[in-house]
Amino acid sequence: MGNSFGRLFRITTYGESHGTAIGVIIDGCPAGLAIDEDLIQDELTRRKPGQSRITTQRKEDDRFEIQSGVFEGRTTGTPISLVIYNKDQKSKDYSHIADKFRPSHADFTYHEKYGVRDYRGGGRSSARETAARVAAGAIAKQLLKESGMEITAYVSQVGDISAPDYKKMDLSLIEDNIVRCPDTNTAEKMIQLIDKVRKDRDTIGGVVTCIAAGVPAGLGEPVFDKLHAELGKAMLSINAVKGFEYGSGFEGTRMRGSAHNDEFFEEKGKVRTKTNFSGGIQGGISNGEDIYFNVAFKPVATIMQDQESVNEQGEPVTVSGKGRHDPCVVPRAVPIVEAMAALVIADHYLINKVSKSE
Amino acid sequence: MGNSFGRLFRITTYGESHGTAIGVIIDGCPAGLAIDEDLIQDELTRRKPGQSRITTQRKEDDRFEIQSGVFEGRTTGTPISLVIYNKDQKSKDYSHIADKFRPSHADFTYHEKYGVRDYRGGGRSSARETAARVAAGAIAKQLLKESGMEITAYVSQVGDISAPDYKKMDLSLIEDNIVRCPDTNTAEKMIQLIDKVRKDRDTIGGVVTCIAAGVPAGLGEPVFDKLHAELGKAMLSINAVKGFEYGSGFEGTRMRGSAHNDEFFEEKGKVRTKTNFSGGIQGGISNGEDIYFNVAFKPVATIMQDQESVNEQGEPVTVSGKGRHDPCVVPRAVPIVEAMAALVIADHYLINKVSKSE
Amino acid sequence: MGNSFGRLFRITTYGESHGTAIGVIIDGCPAGLAIDEDLIQDELTRRKPGQSRITTQRKEDDRFEIQSGVFEGRTTGTPISLVIYNKDQKSKDYSHIADKFRPSHADFTYHEKYGVRDYRGGGRSSARETAARVAAGAIAKQLLKESGMEITAYVSQVGDISAPDYKKMDLSLIEDNIVRCPDTNTAEKMIQLIDKVRKDRDTIGGVVTCIAAGVPAGLGEPVFDKLHAELGKAMLSINAVKGFEYGSGFEGTRMRGSAHNDEFFEEKGKVRTKTNFSGGIQGGISNGEDIYFNVAFKPVATIMQDQESVNEQGEPVTVSGKGRHDPCVVPRAVPIVEAMAALVIADHYLINKVSKSE
Amino acid sequence: MGNSFGRLFRITTYGESHGTAIGVIIDGCPAGLAIDEDLIQDELTRRKPGQSRITTQRKEDDRFEIQSGVFEGRTTGTPISLVIYNKDQKSKDYSHIADKFRPSHADFTYHEKYGVRDYRGGGRSSARETAARVAAGAIAKQLLKESGMEITAYVSQVGDISAPDYKKMDLSLIEDNIVRCPDTNTAEKMIQLIDKVRKDRDTIGGVVTCIAAGVPAGLGEPVFDKLHAELGKAMLSINAVKGFEYGSGFEGTRMRGSAHNDEFFEEKGKVRTKTNFSGGIQGGISNGEDIYFNVAFKPVATIMQDQESVNEQGEPVTVSGKGRHDPCVVPRAVPIVEAMAALVIADHYLINKVSKSE
């Protein structure tokens, strides 16, 4: 359970890192949408391991295949199955961790919950699962683009190094550097820090900021399914995420209402707000301004150092770091954040089509 | 839509602040649970307006009635209907705001989404809606208590004033002061700040921290319905919430993996972690340690000052502050945070009963 | 669980026959729909006990109240709460059946499932629960009417007495007699049969036929949520229903494809079928022709005779018939069948609004 | 939408008859269940085309592959992906029907609903979709078997030829003949009829009867999700099904309550019923007796004869019968009915685990 997400634009994912394949079924994508497969591949490539020296050096191709739901380049309204076959999935030797609980991984909790677990490469808890989200998100993005909406994320913090406010940067530069921070100076410092952390055989956390532009007023449901609550759940469901804030966020707790309130004005026949501490969402419903939010990622749990732990029998063991892992997850998390945001907004875009009687 | 929450322990709420009643239907509460109605009333009383000088002076009684699902003091497995009648719901004059959009309220977004809206007292967007959540949460708490789980929240920040870490305070003191902060010194400063803000006819934000103790390992689903993702959505669905973080949260983004990882050890036959940056949840599943998280509340949008805005025709108008409102929402938000946490954990407690084959 | 129905136009019901009230929350009714409260009351009156000599003589008023979701005569998009208070709910003496399992009632199965049960008047398993469905259905009907759809049901069989095909009768005559069969001769015979059965202190089964006219092509989902599968579930969820068939139904199993296939032709720019064995649904999706189906009701289980049974201890007991009950349920089932059909079609009417991309 | 089924044991299917593959994701199968892949293949083989002279002569292999969720022969609690690749899926020439609406097929309704459709071999509306259901059902059967439940279906009617009551036959003989009727004499007549119909280039309808034995009391939810309502929806969602009845069914409408009521008695410490007109379900909840029901299948729409119709432009056209199709669908429908029944009962078996508090 818990492998589906969304209400009308609904995805279901499957697959372990060392099984035959991972994949996603999209149920509820409207019929007649033109699908550009290159755009899907581009997103997968942004997420894939081995893309630069600051990510894991593991090589994965992440080629996808559409198995259903698209005919002659257009969606048919039937489920879209996207599969990514695991190359090279034959297990190397995992016996050194088969019965050990790696600190801050999901080994122990899976063991407690299910009694059995696929210990190879993290199994279902592997970050590889997010490739399916990115593929589905790429289709959601195409649906949103049709209606003038665009989702953009970037790395706004690595360790203690932070980028300026998004309004002060040129977001078209995000893909110009390997850390995906649009401010060149900050990007340089972030890369240096990640390099250092990697040499220390350690990892470091960071923040991804995301902006959804062009979202019309009216998306989101007033009570439990507030647009930011759905975005929050979506982000918190990504591996390694520890926090979510939108608009003024945690900083807003220090403000007074008189400073925080976004006064309305009229501009070219459209109701706008002078400030946007609301982050484009009021009462859980989009108001037409930019939606923006921050997503906090902890340092990756896999480090190249020895750590104390216990095994399934509760005996003390040492877990040794092996393999190729990301010193910092945020550069590769950027397309994942975008994908999840696109899925949420696409879903609410459809849900909102039935909010008014005719 | 969006007025239901939970999968097996599922609530549906209804009601506007100036209708006949608000209420909640709980579907999926197991049969045979003894219900203590006093405990439900206690929670509602913790939330109700007019409880102290630092909350709104509006008087609401918030008496509830059980209409179904409980027979001879025990749940029967059928839906539990809890209703709270709105006393005094005859509208006073709301004509001064009927067609105006109050800044940072839901007036404009409801108008865009639905075309029509009940403008009296905020209608469905009124914080009064949370009374239904608190009533339902009080039943969830009774279910959890049966299995040794306990949810406790308190005010950890008001404006710039912060309380110490939860481990350094005596949480039994929370209800000893009107701001619901267990550290007496901090509480005193918070109350002074709120007093000052109220005199300034302004409002201020704050943070509520919540701890779930006694939660067994195994609760939560691995992918989209991670336990912290569900908690996050629950909290973000509360009026005025701008952010959520659990465990190390946003601070954890500055840490290195070697410091952040929670090493396992064995204690009295139980697997424990030496530190708890994970916040009691690993891979989306509870690990048996304390679950703790922070919820950020913005300053209340209703201020006793004039603000610029527009009306439904897009014309410039002045919105004047009137009535009795909370200068700071966090003291009354404490039971709401607890209620939503209880609902999430009760739901996952039931869901987890089917995770293993026999 | 299981007390909600529908996906976008979604209802949740609650209440026992001897609690304070029964009711329904409608979540997802589009905003701006004009609500005629008299039409809701009319439907409740068609269902209520004591309406004629061939129904139970129990008197229930079945007055409803709208608690939320309607403002100045129009829906607001927020949940609509409809409540029907139970008059006179103080229990008379139920001690004679408190621990006995009445044959073919839900006493035993509730006992097995929940351990506890409200034995007064059947509790949640009482047919009184259907009043909530009728009230919600009356709102669904108003939504459908706006788009030219109309749902009509009648009694087509009582015991061995059957009415002619619906195309051969004048459906405007349904309400002209107390058995709700539009053919006067057949109605007369049905009434005589029910009278006789009542005098025998017995009960008899029957069939309700329903027609949905004006349903546009395109409603229903192709695989699991086929329109007729949803209608079937809706009907089978009504107390005492034993079967459902649509279009040619069970008779169609005896036919050959060459006779059963509905050939297409064009009429005034619209694709029509020459025959309608498909019952207006092909591949699970409406085709624009009349949707029609039959619903089989068993004889009511409560009879005015002594029956052998056991009690909660497994001991042999005699259950004696007491009270006032329906000798035949179908006349009162007519508005219930219509209500459930309206709910299904309203739901799929909304779902279909997102089937095509723009 | 509508491609998922079940609440806790939940399947999502995808795939068109002429795409790359069809498949199913099972989300919610408990961990630790031993999976026998041969049993899955056996069920697929019972459904596959070309299995005997009375089914279509089209050859499909229907080999499946497990892509995830099973590790070392046991389920892990993560989604189980079962894929069946379409061999030979390169389209032969479908231009003769590309823009024609075949009578009583889904061509017209898909066209109306989606605007586009994959016309090759029926696309998503192809009966091939049911292979995914059978594969998933084979896993549900293994879960049920663990707890002593068994699902058995057979052909009880072809055209006008009917088998005796299920209690009067030896159900172990079902697979002994190609029509899957356990009564040898009846089976012989059914086969002769199908042979005749096939020679007439026509098709014929029939009925499948299904029995679920060993189902414990307590499964099913009282109101909308009654066990028989869920079974009914499941059956009605199968291609070509026109009706569903359980227990006394439509015949029960002719009975009196005094004859129809199932009196209780005690046998070896278990509460039993003397008769079983209830079909093992009372008030929507299983009572421990055999659950039995009938499913009506119309004659297959594809006939080897010319038929009148229209094309997408509304112009009159002739549709000519071509290819290899089933003269009667019921023999191959037997495993599909069993699969859907197993899915419903497995789902409610899990749901019922949370009906009582501890």
Please give the average per-residue pLDDT across C59-66, as a whole number.
Answer: 87
Q: C320-342 pLDDT, tens per residue?
A: 987 778 999 999 999 999 999 99
Chain A residues with CB inside 8 Å of D14's CB?
25, 27, 67-69, 78-81
Q: How near does any CA of chain D get to the CA of C302, in Å?
A: 8
Residue C91: what pLDDT?
Answer: 59
Q: Please state, rounded to an integer, the average pLDDT across all residues of chain A.
A: 95
Return the exposure string of C104-143: e unless at least 16 CB atoms fall within 10 Å of the residue's CB, then b. bbbbbbbbbbbbbbbbbbbbbbbbbbbbbbbbbbbbbbbb
Task: Give CA–CA dist A142/A139, Å, rounded.
Answer: 5
Q: B236-265 pLDDT, tens per residue?
A: 999 999 999 999 999 999 999 999 999 999
Residue C16 — pLDDT band, cuts 50, 70, 90? very high
Residue D322 — pLDDT band, cuts 50, 70, 90? confident
Kindly tell me if the per-residue pLDDT of B90 is higher than 60. Answer: no
Length of chain B equals 358
Q: How far is CA A322 from CA A121, A302, A312, A325, B97, in A?
A: 11, 9, 20, 9, 64
Residue C136: what pLDDT?
Answer: 98
Query: Computed over its alpha carbons, how large is the radius of gyration of chain A?
Result: 21
Kindly tell me if the per-residue pLDDT of D237 is higher than 60. Answer: yes
Question: For A316, which residue in chain B has the nearest alpha carbon?
Answer: B265
- CB nearest B14 (choices: C1, C25, C118): C25
Give bridge partners of residue B152 from the DSSP assignment: B211
Q: A202-258 pLDDT, tens per residue?
A: 999 999 999 999 999 999 999 999 999 999 999 999 999 999 999 999 999 999 999
B222 near D CB under 8 A: yes
Say if residues C336 and C324 touch (Cβ distance below 8 Å).
Answer: no
Question: For B67, which residue in chain C has the nearest alpha carbon?
Answer: C20
Residue A58: what pLDDT?
Answer: 75
Q: What percent of chain A has pLDDT over 90?
A: 87
Say if residues A79 and A67 touch (Cβ distance below 8 Å).
Answer: no
Kindly tell me if the per-residue pLDDT of B2 is higher than 70. Answer: yes
Own/partner long-range contacts of C168-172 (Cβ < 8 Å, ≥24 apart)? C171/C211
Residue D28 — pLDDT band, cuts 50, 70, 90? very high
Q: How near does any CA of chain B get to the CA of D278, in Å?
A: 22
- CB nearest B31 (choices: D31, D32, D355): D355
Structure tokens given for A18:
């060392």
Nearest alpha-carbon partner for B311 in B92, B98, B147: B98
Give ipTM to 2 decimals.
0.97
Residue C88: what pLDDT?
Answer: 63
Residue C329: what pLDDT?
Answer: 95
Residue D91: what pLDDT?
Answer: 59
Q: A137-180 pLDDT, tens per residue?
A: 999 999 999 999 999 999 999 999 999 999 999 999 999 999 99
Q: Where is A235: in which H helix or E strand?
A: helix A227-236
Residue D63: what pLDDT?
Answer: 92
* Pairing state between β D206-213 and D264-267: unpaired
Pairwise CB contact (< 8 Å): B237 & A284: yes
Please give the average per-residue pLDDT across B326-339, as a whole number.
Answer: 97
Chain B residues with CB inside 8 Å of C2's CB?
27
Q: How near does any CA of chain A get to the CA of D84, in Å?
A: 11
Q: How near does any CA of chain C get to the CA of D251, in Å?
A: 9
Q: Spell out the SS3 assignment of chain C.
A: CCCEECCCCEEEEECCCCCCEEEEEEECCCECCECCHHHHHHHHHHHCCCCCCCCCCCCCCCCEEEEECEECCEECCCCEEEEEECCCCCCCCCCCCCCECCCCCCHHHHHHHHCCCCCHHHHHHCHHHHHHHHHHHHHHHHHHHHCCCEEEEEEEEECCEECCCHHHCCHHHHHHCCCCCCCHHHHHHHHHHHHHHHHCCCCECEEEEEEEECCCCCCCCCCCCCHHHHHHHHHHCCCCEEEEEECCHHHHHHCEHHHHCCCEEEECCEEEECCCCCCCEECCEECCCCEEEEEEECCCCCCCCCEEEEECCCCEEEECCCCCCCCCCHHHHHHHHHHHHHHHHHHHHHHHHHCECC
3-state secondary structure of B201: coil
Nearest alpha-carbon partner for B354 in D138, D143, A238: D143
Q: B155-210 pLDDT, tens per residue?
A: 999 999 999 999 999 999 999 999 999 999 999 999 999 999 999 999 999 999 99
Q: Please state, rounded to an integer, the average pLDDT across all residues of chain C.
A: 95
Q: Give contacts of D 94-123 with C, CB under 8 A.
A: 101, 103-106, 108-110, 112-115
Q: Please state, rounded to an integer, the average pLDDT across all residues of chain B.
A: 95
Please tell me the least confidently modeled range out of B219-223, C39-43, C89-93. C89-93
Q: How far is CA A215 from CA A281, A355, C73, in A?
A: 10, 16, 31
Please give the average per-residue pLDDT across B47-63, as a whole number.
Answer: 84
Own/partner long-range contacts of B171-175 (Cβ < 8 Å, ≥24 apart)? B171/B211, B174/B334, B175/B46
Nearest alpha-carbon partner for A301 in A108, A134, A170: A108
Structure tokens given for B260:
């952040």
Residue A317: what pLDDT?
Answer: 96
Residue D89 — pLDDT band, cuts 50, 70, 90? low
Say if residues A290 and A281 touch (Cβ distance below 8 Å).
Answer: no
What is the span of the domain harbouring residue D314?
Answer: 4-355
Domains of chain A: total: 1
Task: Give CA–CA dist C264/B342, Å, rounded.
Answer: 57
Residue B88: what pLDDT?
Answer: 63
C56 near D CB under 8 A: no
Task: Give CA–CA dist A312/D15, Å, rounded.
Answer: 41
Q: Please state, rounded to an integer, the average pLDDT across all residues of chain D.
A: 95
Pairwise CB contact (< 8 Å): B146 & D222: no
Q: C125-148 pLDDT, tens per residue?
A: 999 999 999 999 999 999 999 999
Region for residue B88 given its phi and psi (left: phi exceeds 0; alpha: psi -120 to 50; beta: otherwise): left
Task: Give CA–CA dist A29/A8, Å, rounded.
Answer: 8
* Half-sphere CA count of A80, side-chain side, radius 13 A: 31
Q: A117-148 pLDDT, tens per residue?
A: 888 888 899 999 999 999 999 999 999 999 99
Q: Which residue has the higher pLDDT, A326 or D238?
A: D238
3-state secondary structure of B224: coil
Q: D103-145 pLDDT, tens per residue?
A: 999 999 999 999 998 888 889 999 999 999 999 999 999 999 9
Please give the average per-residue pLDDT across A290-315, as a whole number.
Answer: 96
Cβ neighbours, 10 Å, residue B258: 19
CATH number for A260: 3.60.150.10
* Half-sphere CA count of A224, side-chain side, radius 13 A: 23
Please tell me the least confidently modeled range out of A68-72, B216-220, D52-56. D52-56
Kindly tell me if the per-residue pLDDT of C122 is higher than 90. Answer: no
Structure tokens given for A314:
């509760």
Q: What percent of chain C has pLDDT over 90?
A: 87
Cβ neighbours, 10 Å, residue C45: 14
Task: Give CA–CA dist C232/C249, Å, rounded.
Answer: 12
Residue B91 — pLDDT band, cuts 50, 70, 90? low
- CB nearest B350 (choices: D32, D78, D354): D354
Task: Give CA–CA dist B134/D108, Å, rounded.
Answer: 51
Question: For C32, which residue in chain B has the nearest alpha carbon?
Answer: B116
Structure tokens given for A217:
């007023």
Say if residues B11 and B24 touch (Cβ distance below 8 Å).
Answer: yes
Residue C347: what pLDDT?
Answer: 98
Residue D269: what pLDDT?
Answer: 93
- CB nearest D353 (choices: B33, B147, B354): B354
Kindly tell me if the per-residue pLDDT of C95 is higher than 80. Answer: no
Residue A1: what pLDDT?
Answer: 82
Q: What percent of chain A has pLDDT over 70?
A: 98
Task: Give CA–CA dist C327/D256, Å, rounded.
Answer: 10
Angle at the Cα of B284 (from B280 to B289), degrees rounded to 5?
15
Residue D7 — pLDDT band, cuts 50, 70, 90? very high
Q: Is the dihedral of CA B46, B51, B56, B60 positive or negative?
A: positive
Name the DSSP class of B151: E
Crossing angle (nearest 10°) for helices D330-351 and D37-47 = 140
Chain C residues with CB inside 8 Å of B20's CB?
65-68
Chain D residues with CB inside 8 Å of C295's CB?
none
Cβ neighbours, 10 Å, residue A178: 16
Kindly tell me if the per-residue pLDDT of A106 is higher than 90. Answer: yes
* Terminal C-alpha separation, chain B: 37
Say if residues D228 and D279 touch (Cβ distance below 8 Å).
Answer: yes
Length of chain A equals 358
Kindly tell me if the per-residue pLDDT of D3 is higher than 60. Answer: yes
Task: Give CA–CA dist A302/A323, Å, rounded.
Answer: 9
Residue type, D108: F
Which of D354, D356, D358 would best serve as a mutation to test chain B binding (most B beta carbons within 10 A)? D354
Q: Which residue has the higher pLDDT, D220 or C88?
A: D220
Crossing angle (nearest 10°) for helices B37-47 and B130-146 = 140
Q: How far is CA D62 from CA A22, D54, D128, in A?
A: 21, 19, 10
